[in-house]
Amino acid sequence: MDLSTAPAEDPRPDPTDLHLRVLAWYADHARDLPWRRSDATPWGVLVSEIMLQQTPVARVAPVWEEWLRTWPRPADLAAEPAGEAVRAWGRLGYPRRALRLHAAAQAIVEQHGGEVPSTYDELLALPGIGDYTAAAVASFAYGQRHVVLDTNVRRVLTRVLRGAELPSPAVTRAERDLATEHLPDDDRTAAAWAVGVMELGALVCTASRPSCGRCPLADTCAWRAAGHPSYDGPVRRAQTWAGTDRQCRGRLLDVLRATDGPVPAQALVGAWDDADQRERCVASLLDDGLLVRLEGDRVGLP
């Protein structure tokens, strides 16, 4: 046989083998999270996906449980003022997500009879719902076949299939195409694969200290085979907290969350010492709709 004309062997692992390995690992190691249980509703899944954006599971779980006790259906939340959603959001961070979730609940009631829609396109059309959340809810709540690309999934696929430490800051067309190529064909397996890879990235193939010795894909991982080369893409800036506008905004909102109604604007003075930064953050909260200015120089939640 003329080896010079033989087709080159595809160095990437067989997708079916990857599926079997990840699904078997997930069956043994999946965390018992309330939004994954059999009695979780599509609404509960949607709430969890919004809350889990940039927020650890340990912080989300108790807030999620209280949220679902208070508002077990979209209609229950939609009937409340948006400010109650901001109040219940507590210290999860990025409180504009609470406003988006409230707006989504209202749209679900008005456009879908109070039931969370099941298709990707309908989910994507809800206020504040992007590609990832629409795909995740369609997959995890309704068992459909979609490419679900959160940070953990992207990191696992980048390492295993592309041999790089970390994915690019934003999802690329090539990355999405590669994920699509490795998506199982049937809906149920695809949905299980999506959550399984996500869990693998959260527990084993972590960003800073991956546990390759515990990974079911270790012997097929291109990054491990290459000697774990370091990330060489665009600079990834670490998020800070102390002294930032984010921290200031959180302190100001805490004043409102601790009361049953509006407070004099002067009540915000004690929440943050830097007057210029405080006023800038008050203005940004007003612009974002997280704060409203009322008569008598008072401020309150929307």
The answer to whether 223 and 229 are in contact (CB under 8 A) is yes
Say how far apart CA 76 and CA 79 lie, in whole Å: 5
Closest CA to 255 of 277, 270, 273, 276: 270
Residue 48 belongs to what H/E stretch? helix 42-51
The DSSP letter of residue 160 is: I
Query: CA 18, 19, 21, 22 torsion: positive or negative?
Result: positive
The DSSP letter of residue 293 is: E
Say how far apart CA 105 and CA 68 lie, in whole Å: 13
Closest CA to 149 of 185, 119, 193: 193
Query: CA 203, 206, 210, 216 torsion: positive or negative?
Result: positive
The answer to whether 221 and 160 are in contact (CB under 8 A) is yes
Paired with 43 in beta bridges are none
- Active-site positions? 49
Q: Which two tokens stand for residue 244?
A: 């930032």
